[in-house]
Structure 1
Amino acid sequence: MGGGGAPPVRRGGLARHAAPHRHLRGAARARRPQPFAPARALPHAARGRGARDPRGVPDARAPQPRAWRAARPQPASGAAVRGRPRAARAWRGARRPGRQQAARRAAEAVAAGAVPRLIVLDALGLAYRAHYAFIRRPLVTAAGEPTSAIFGFANMALRIRREERPDRWALAWDGPGLTFRHERFPDYKATRKPMPDELLAQIPVIEEVAQALGLPVIEIPGCEADDVMATLAVQGARAGWDVTLVTSDKDLLQLVNDRVTVLAPAGRGEEHVRMDRAAVHARWGVAPEQIGDVLALMGDASDNVPGVKGVGEKTAVELISTFGSLDALYERLAEVPRPALREKLAAHRAMAYLSRELVTVRTDLALPVGLEDLRVAPVRRDDLVALARRWQLQRLERIAHELGVDEAEAGSRVHARSAERRGTAAETQAAGVRLAGAPAPRPPAAPPASDEGEAGGGAGGGGRAGRDAPPATGPARAHGPEAAEARPVSDAGAAPAGDVAPASVAPAVRALRRAAFAPRPGEQGTLDLFGARPPEGLAGGGEAGEDLGAPEVIARRLHAVRARSVHGLALLPVFDGHDPRTSTLAGLALAALDGTACYLPLDHVAGANVSRDAVRAWLGPAMADAATPKLAHDLKAALHALARLDVPLEGLDLDLHLASFVCDPERDHGLDALARDVLGVALPPVEPPAGRGRPRPAITSRPPGEIAPAAMARAAAIPPLAEALRAQVEAREQGRLYATLELPLVPVLWAMERAGVRLDAAVLEGMAARAAEDLARLEGELQALAGGPLNLHSGAQLARVMFETLGLKAGRRTKTGFSTDQATLEALAAQHPFPRLLLEWRALAKLKSTYLDALPAARDPADGRVHTTFEQAGAATGRLSSSAPNLQNIPMRTPQGRAIRRAFVAPEGGVLVGADYSQIELRVMAHLSGDAALIEAFAAGEDVHASTARRVFGVTGALDPALRARAKIVNFGVMYGMGARSLSAQMGIPLEEAQDFIAHYFRVYAGVREFLDRTVAEARRRGYVETLLGRRRWLPGLAATHGGERALAERAAINTPIQGSAADLVRLAMVRVHRALKAFPPSARLLLQVHDELLLECAANDADAVSAVVRAEMEGCLALRVPLVVTVGRGPTWFDVH
């Protein structure tokens, strides 16, 4: 039923998944299963290793593998499984001693006020949920093996164990073979797709994880997991237990009563949805016992249960709530008011009753175990760690190491309670009962001295961390650690997992989870300050346990952080805004590597602020000490903050968001996301909450003592995150890229943002005035063509004018009407002047609002310059981006767009210098492909587009500019994976001609074709592509089953090595040029980077020397098979540079 997928069939010890019934072979279809075949609880590792008939049912006569025979002790309940499995009838009836004992003990527990709890998990339901939770960015190992379901299942099971605290639990699997439902309705589940191969491969490992978690597994041939869960639920409820069924299957809602609830598992950071009687009625409008009748009428598409044709959920609920049951409905069918509905019900009566039989869960299975056999056993930490390492799941490994202390303690408490109920130590040892050959559980570790901390997975858990715990990270640099794990994507598509941390950060993580930075009365707090004496000039004395914003507490904490920061110092500036250069610097949080933290309020309206002179005196030497590694989530923001305090910052070591970026460029690199995904910690926000209907209050308006706890917690999260990300950087072999390119680029971009570029606002104001006149003229012409007033911002009015008034042919239709987008207008521009004028009006209106009006407003009145913000971790290919304002996209294809560059001017007595790589991406493609024709053209200094046109079209004389334009389109189109259809649209030629053009191009440049094919094949094998400098981009879409998604990933695989290598070359050139300019006066400096161009300013008399140095540095930054060529120009404005 709702477990997800057809029942698993295991052959030769490997998990397989049976296709739906209609896909089974004829032999399998002919052999109908017995509804209740002999039942067994199988060992996790060996289940189903015996011979199987075509339906996957074990052949009892076949010899079993030796490993199985050797490892099958008697289950504790007495369910011997030697040789042929014992007949199912041996388990029926209430005379079995285990059941009597369970019922008696449960009754005793209820009488004593301690109701036992039973949790039953839907195995395939959880596996499917975990698989699809990561479907857009699947987790894989470095070898491309999928691990999403493994990690998701383990994490969910641990979360259920921690939050629900069961006394008994079990994992129910669909049994092999067909079920009685297939017997009654051969098309049952016939429409269900087979299990995805990626999930199928993980099923055996999930069973191993269950074994490591001490989770008993129950699987009965010919029975679905729903029926196993239902039978256990009824047995538990009859015994007076509280039962929770962990599943998203609506069929099981019919079991809900005062003792049984259904828990629908939720995603990370969300609450599980618990369905009790009230919740079921609120969702469905009927009682739980009526759910089966509702489903009988409406059917269930997921299981191909037909129901009554034409009756949906709303009608079914209305009928059952009115008549009470399916039987009563048909007894009083004449009372149904709508004749058409009455006829449907009468015509499909037999199907309704068949559907009810199909959706009704069985509660009378002969289970191979009793409730006593399902005790919660301690997690087998070593087994779980081994599995986590094998499948490169470092977060699971970290959780397992935490369980090494906390779970052993929790397990011992659970078992102590069980022992008290049972009364004998011998029964305590049986708590980890083995079901049909499962290895004996290891004894729990000795409980720690403290009784804090419970086992946890995901974002919970943790025990007490000692005050003198060793530092969470050491002085190792970003290229120094030693771990690996799997990330959303696959070596057929995904970056090894970035949401994991080494086990060594566990103490720091536990401290962060407590987030006990606010001292309690009479205590010194979580962070030990050793009673340090406050430094001179900051504050006077004071007693511990005071407000974190009190001067004497700040002083002691700052002294403690300074004393412990010899191996590293974490910085977290707190800005009251989003621009680190101009936003108010409210304060600065600092943390040593062991988590000792402090918050220095600098500009709070309420409360005392630390003197900036004192900060410079106390922190200046430490910040300027290059031997002390500096860590931050954003080192560039830290540079801006300290520059405003006139404090130099040296020893830049690890930037969290850049380390995350080189590991997996497409994940969220924010501090909150990294703490959640890597450490499993939810960090408190610094920003005060906004009131209802009111704006969020400024940080500086709050007293420092209210901001300090969150700021310190966030700073203290940086060292363990740094250690985890070091490990990831090294594991992905990105240490060299980070250390030689990304980290050195940080101070370069910081200096560029501080410098800004001088803007002549008068130039833009004049252009804006002329644009306003042109817009008014165009609007008048458009209204004249439309025959009256017209709102040019209204798509509906424009569509009405073009497609009704003017009679133009309508194109693509949207939800609100016919489209008037750019592609539609371009297609119609040749038919009528209205679309052409509308395109012109839109382009000019965008130019005016985006640049002519916005750039003068962005000019800093203090220095007359525009200061953009560069985003180093913006694009997966490595290209830089800029914002506030965006100077990367100033248009260059129109005269008006190019004229905007006239507003960017040199300072008095200086000039602007522009250096632009010539056709860098084509040169990179020539180098990577090794194509002889391309290399020859570049080596000879030819115009490569003209060369392509001559070679492809066979031109020997004068070249038609139109042919060169076509050759340019295909040269660049090849790099972006452009197909014939896109080429046809761009060139305006028939599809067949575009196909012939591409085919001829690849005959001429055969090396390029071989390179593209080789790149895609290698990307499929490894799961990623790589630039010349080693930057990796993981492409999960290469393994996608959806053709469009897979094609998109293939285009990225082609484009990234070329465009990414070009972007890396530009980054490297920026670092080299910035370093070389230190030989010149400070007036010589980098200002902007726009695609393949660098813009600098310098004194006029230094222009020649600066130009020569810039060209040499840019052309010499990497040796390729073809020469790198840089065009250098100069002038009073950016427009004049080229």
Structure 2
Amino acid sequence: MKRAVLLDVSAIMYRAFFAHMNFKTKNEPTGAVFGFTNTLLSIIDEFSPDYIGAAFDVKRSTLKRSEKYKDYKSARKPIPEDLVTQIPRIEDLLDCFGIEKFKIDGHEADDVIGALAKKLSADNIEVYIITGDKDLSQLVDDNINIALLGKGEGKERFKILRTEEDVVEQLGVKPNDIPDLFGLIGDASDGIPGVRKIGSKKALVMLQKYKNLEGVYNHIDELSDLPGIGKGLVKNIEEDKDLAFLSRDLATIDLEIPVDYDPHKLQHGIEKNRLYNLFKNLEFKALIKKLNLKEQEPEKEALEEHKKNSSKENKQMSLFGGKVSEEIVVERENKIITTEDMFEDMLKKAKSEKIAAILYGDCGISVTLKSGNYYMPLSHDYIGSENNSIELLKKFLSADIEFISYKFKDILNEGYEIKNIHFDVMIAYFLLTAQTKESIEVVLHNETGDDFPLYKDIFGKEDPSKLPVEEYGEFMMKRSESLYDIYKDLKNRIELEDMHDLFYNVEMKLILILSKMEQEGIAIDPEYFREFSLELSDKLQELKKNIFKISEEEFNLNSPKQLAEILFMKLNIEPVSKTKTGFSTNVDVLETLRDRGEKIAEYILDYRKLTKLQSTYVDALPKLADERNRLHTTFNQTGAATGRLSSSNPNLQNIPVKSDEGIKIRRGFISDKGNTLLAIDYSQIELRVLAELSKDETLIKAYSDGLDLHDLTAKKIFDIDTDVTRSQRTMAKIVNFSIIYGKTPFGLSKELGISQKDAKEYIKRYFEQYPRVKELEEKIIKNAEETGYVKTYFGRKRSVDGISSKNGNIKKQADRMAVNTVIQGTAADILKKVMIEIDKKIKDKNDIKMNLQVHDELIFEVKDESVEKYADLIKNIMENSIKFKNVKLEANVAQGKNWAEAK
């Protein structure tokens, strides 16, 4: 039986777009095209179709359904700009695959698909409709199946609805009854109104009893006897009768539209040279390799021929299941290492080949060589004993082999030493894309086009140690194999993007340093935190008492609904803003009320602040400490697109710095007996970077003369010659940093508590006094518009989404991101470079450890007698290892028995 696939183009391209939003060349966004290509390849591989057709939607305003009901699909957001620009590319892609495109004025893709599917079915051709839209399930018959994108279970890519029973399980009704269902419940996404307050459960009760809308309305007097159908709903059903039948009409796929049906036109084949040129323009290097595309291939070659030339057993040669690297033309054999002899054989091969990709898992480690894949269990008694396995792994990692992995830090933190940490794929991918916190599955999918289901999607909640070793080993080996295969391409791209130094001499060297810091941790005083928590509890009780006194009743302070009722109904306070669910009580609203003099708002803000401090830090931190009362945070090298390190589990970079409570939290971080905490931070590093990059003479002179920049700015924006007050300096400091972060007059006015007019004037005066700063910002934005990315002083790149957007808000946000990335990213690179220089000097010392990095601050634990020595050494490194041409970097030194004293 012949088989056809019909593509719901909108469903596929939207899903692809949102899955790969940050994919782009310097000229255009490409994520939707990339994702669409991978989905198309998966579809062809899964269904092996003889025929393919692709149905496109048309403008809403031209739809015949819009003539019947003017609000049909009116609430839908416009197509994102970056997706609109990719639609012609998707059309080109379909042309390259020889896939017939269908678009009919006045009719949606659903109608086109329905009409084509019925004609194909009538010709006894099996049809699979690829969509994310369950509405199309009304088409299911003996020959027509629905393949729902991304809904498959386990390793399945699609959820297939083949029978009436499948549709009933999915929607609760048979295919023919789906329009009746939507007649009652409507569809908010399509603007189909339905009947007021009728949801699926109530609709199914009525349809199961009375079959269809006619049956429901013929028995209107009996409806209130059904479970859950009260008299109020019956009234809605009566009053909305016309809407119900209109909604059914809108939800019914039109099978009679005029569609040019010719199965021969639905045959398909790849024009390989044309596809190569498209992929080359889009910079889809992995897909070029995956499909083995080259220039000047024969113009047309049937897809089926490629599939015949491949087999399930030799996927390296397969058009749709192949690996990335052109060098690998034979399938690697998967082996589970069960004896020392097998281990020695693997080690010998690895030493000979000089390079290996490794991936550390919960129960073992997978190894990929050019010649084969291996999985070495560590938690099973396979190689004599678990301890013996660990010793063999140590031997392997100490061999003269260049290792490739994903997140080497995970292996180091388990206590293993690795002789040659050569290439971390996670960090390389981050440098090339500025994508943060991507999982290995996402990275490998984006680089190879293959699917890598998450562990939970395959094995659920099963403990890895309880799985058959072969199954878990296969899971691991697939990933290490792909790490090996994408390594050379990533390495070449690092070189082409001129980020060799940043990758090898900064990011890769930082891995060992961060691992040591994480393992060392920092000590806390649990008794201090316990007492502080009691103190906070007393303050919170006092605040609650004050709040309830004003409200004259007790209520749930954590319930926005109850709080809104107290503030705006009982106390009759004038509301600030309203949401869909009622009056807002968010922070902005409460701050506005506080500024109006409402004491209850001030108390609630204090209550929320102290509650968060208590739950997030004071109570939580001691629970995360080890048996030595030391906290071990995780430093994320790929956590921020600017290149800054982030911290998690626990996050020690977000402890408030300005409040008394934040200082008190820091007091709980202590040194061990006989040690001192040494804290060294940069003085205004981002402003110094701004001065260096802008070459603004006033800024440079201020730093060279040792002036207080915030004091100087205050005099300039407030136009004063006298001494600057404390509040004026504080305001000027906020203005100085607002320029870096691209704060708008509105944002600045809120932070300073002044009018937008005054805030706008302050920004204007700032740029008048520091004119080269404005020139720098304009230059950064212009370069980003031309190239699509920005670069830091040290060559770190970041793509800037929306930099050419016609949407004013998106454009302004992109402009701010561009400027901020250059300045903050340069400062972040400086911190990383000095950490490496400091580590060179202290790594073999027993009287000092580097414990924390918090943005522009480094914290060390030092033997008491060595504090002065290391204070001078580290201050010198921080001030002199990075040499700017125009501005000197300065560092401040503080010390104490706790972190608060060292601030």
TM bucket by the smaller chain? 0.7 to 0.9
| Mapping 1:1054-1073, distance limit 5 Å | 1054-1073=819-838
Please state how far the C-alpha of 1:699 moved relative to its aligned partner.
4.9
The 8 Å contact of residues 557 and 598 in structure 1, kept in 2 or not, is answered as no
1:869 pairs, out of 613, 631, 634, with: 634
**Greater mean alpha carbon deviation, residues 677-686 or residues 442-451:** 442-451
TM-score scaled by length of structure 2 = 0.82
**Greater mean alpha carbon deviation, residues 843-852 or residues 993-1002:** 843-852
The 8 Å contact of residues 184 and 244 in structure 2, kept in 1 or not, is answered as no
Letter of the 1:860 counterpart = D
Which residue is equivalent to 2:254? 360
**Greater mean alpha carbon deviation, residues 1107-1116 or residues 357-366:** 357-366
Please state how far the C-alpha of 1:946 moved relative to its aligned partner.
0.5
Letter of the 2:263 counterpart = L
Which residue is equivalent to 1:94? none
SS for the counterpart of 1:1135 is: coil
The 8 Å contact of residues 276 and 294 in structure 2, kept in 1 or not, is answered as no
Distance 1:402 1:267, change over 3 A: farther
Please state how far the C-alpha of 1:683 moved relative to its aligned partner.
5.1
Distance 1:591 1:339, change over 3 A: closer
Which residue is equivalent to 1:168? 51
| Mapping 1:645-660, distance limit 5 Å | 648-660=417-429
SS for the counterpart of 1:973 is: helix
Distance 1:741 1:336, change over 3 A: same
Which residue is equivalent to 2:373? 596
Name the count of aligned residue pairs. Answer: 884
Whether 1:1089 and 2:886 are equivalent positions in the alignment is no
Please state how far the C-alpha of 1:919 moved relative to its aligned partner.
0.5
| Mapping 1:208-287, distance limit 5 Å | 208-216=92-100, 232-246=116-130, 256-263=140-147, 265-266=149-150, 270-274=157-161
Please state how far the C-alpha of 1:703 moved relative to its aligned partner.
7.7
1:527 pairs, out of 328, 334, 337, with: 334
Which residue is equivalent to 2:321? 462
Whether 1:631 and 2:381 are equivalent positions in the alignment is no
The 8 Å contact of residues 869 and 883 in structure 1, kept in 2 or not, is answered as yes
The 8 Å contact of residues 785 and 803 in structure 2, kept in 1 or not, is answered as yes
> Structure 1 CA distance, aligned partners of 2:770 and 2:853?
32
| Mapping 1:770-785, distance limit 5 Å | 770-785=535-550
TM-score scaled by length of structure 1 = 0.67
Which residue is equivalent to 2:287? 396
The 8 Å contact of residues 505 and 724 in structure 1, kept in 2 or not, is answered as no
Which residue is equivalent to 1:664? 433
Whether 1:559 and 2:341 are equivalent positions in the alignment is no
Which residue is equivalent to 2:602? 836
Please state how far the C-alpha of 1:944 moved relative to its aligned partner.
0.5
Which residue is equivalent to 1:35? none
Whether 1:1052 and 2:817 are equivalent positions in the alignment is yes
Which residue is equivalent to 2:263? 371
Letter of the 2:373 counterpart = T
> Structure 1 CA distance, aligned partners of 2:659 and 2:172?
63
Please state how far the C-alpha of 1:858 moved relative to its aligned partner.
3.6
The 8 Å contact of residues 128 and 199 in structure 1, kept in 2 or not, is answered as no
Please state how far the C-alpha of 1:814 moved relative to its aligned partner.
5.6
2:693 pairs, out of 897, 907, 928, with: 928
SS for the counterpart of 2:4 is: strand
1:939 pairs, out of 683, 686, 704, with: 704
SS for the counterpart of 2:647 is: strand
Whether 1:678 and 2:440 are equivalent positions in the alignment is no
1:555-581 Cα shifts (integer Å, max 9, x gaps): 414532443244123333334xxxxxx
Please state how far the C-alpha of 1:199 moved relative to its aligned partner.
4.9
Which residue is equivalent to 2:227? none
The 8 Å contact of residues 589 and 715 in structure 1, kept in 2 or not, is answered as yes
Please state how far the C-alpha of 1:771 moved relative to its aligned partner.
3.9
Letter of the 1:640 counterpart = N
Which residue is equivalent to 2:759? 994
> Structure 1 CA distance, aligned partners of 2:240 and 2:707?
78
Letter of the 2:602 counterpart = R
Distance 1:947 1:309, change over 3 A: same
Larger radius of gyration: 1
| Mapping 1:901-920, distance limit 5 Å | 901-920=666-685
Please state how far the C-alpha of 1:1086 moved relative to its aligned partner.
1.4
> Structure 2 CA distance, aligned partners of 1:312 and 1:792?
33
1:194-216 Cα shifts (integer Å, max 9, x gaps): 87765555455444433432434
1:139-183 Cα shifts (integer Å, max 9, x gaps): 65423223344334433333332222223334456899x999699
Distance 1:828 1:334, change over 3 A: closer
- Unmatched tracts of structure 1, length 5 or more: 1-114, 409-431, 433-437, 464-500, 512-525, 529-547, 576-585
The 8 Å contact of residues 251 and 361 in structure 1, kept in 2 or not, is answered as no
Distance 1:167 1:1036, change over 3 A: same
The 8 Å contact of residues 121 and 143 in structure 2, kept in 1 or not, is answered as yes
The 8 Å contact of residues 189 and 302 in structure 1, kept in 2 or not, is answered as no
SS for the counterpart of 1:937 is: helix
> Structure 2 CA distance, aligned partners of 1:621 and 1:562?
12
> Structure 2 CA distance, aligned partners of 1:857 and 1:358?
58
SS for the counterpart of 2:901 is: helix
Whether 1:610 and 2:385 are equivalent positions in the alignment is yes
SS for the counterpart of 1:653 is: strand
1:574 pairs, out of 361, 386, 394, with: 361
Please state how far the C-alpha of 1:788 moved relative to its aligned partner.
5.8
The 8 Å contact of residues 230 and 361 in structure 1, kept in 2 or not, is answered as yes
Letter of the 1:654 counterpart = F
Letter of the 2:442 counterpart = A
Whether 1:851 and 2:617 are equivalent positions in the alignment is yes
| Mapping 1:794-809, distance limit 5 Å | 794-795=559-560, 798-799=563-564, 801-803=566-568, 807-809=572-574
Which residue is equivalent to 1:52? none
Whether 1:984 and 2:749 are equivalent positions in the alignment is yes
> Structure 1 CA distance, aligned partners of 2:831 and 2:702?
23
1:248-282 Cα shifts (integer Å, max 9, x gaps): 68897776543344555557974155465556677
Letter of the 2:291 counterpart = A
**Greater mean alpha carbon deviation, residues 659-668 or residues 775-784:** 775-784
> Structure 2 CA distance, aligned partners of 1:347 and 1:873?
52
> Structure 2 CA distance, aligned partners of 1:219 and 1:960?
69
> Structure 2 CA distance, aligned partners of 1:614 and 1:297?
63
> Structure 2 CA distance, aligned partners of 1:1044 and 1:783?
41
Distance 1:882 1:562, change over 3 A: farther
SS for the counterpart of 1:118 is: strand
Please state how far the C-alpha of 1:861 moved relative to its aligned partner.
2.8
> Structure 2 CA distance, aligned partners of 1:991 and 1:1076?
50
Distance 1:725 1:955, change over 3 A: same
Which residue is equivalent to 1:950? 715
Which residue is equivalent to 1:534? none
Distance 1:342 1:1023, change over 3 A: same
Please state how far the C-alpha of 1:226 moved relative to its aligned partner.
6.8
1:18-60 Cα shifts (integer Å, max 9, x gaps): xxxxxxxxxxxxxxxxxxxxxxxxxxxxxxxxxxxxxxxxxxx
Letter of the 2:761 counterpart = D
Distance 1:557 1:188, change over 3 A: same
Which residue is equivalent to 1:38? none
SS for the counterpart of 2:798 is: strand
1:1098 pairs, out of 858, 862, 867, with: 862
| Mapping 1:686-765, distance limit 5 Å | 699=464, 707-765=472-530
1:1017-1061 Cα shifts (integer Å, max 9, x gaps): 322332222221222222223355655444433322221111121
Please state how far the C-alpha of 1:807 moved relative to its aligned partner.
5.0
Distance 1:807 1:680, change over 3 A: same
Distance 1:950 1:232, change over 3 A: closer
Letter of the 1:242 counterpart = E
The 8 Å contact of residues 166 and 376 in structure 1, kept in 2 or not, is answered as no
1:817-846 Cα shifts (integer Å, max 9, x gaps): 655444444333462544434444444444
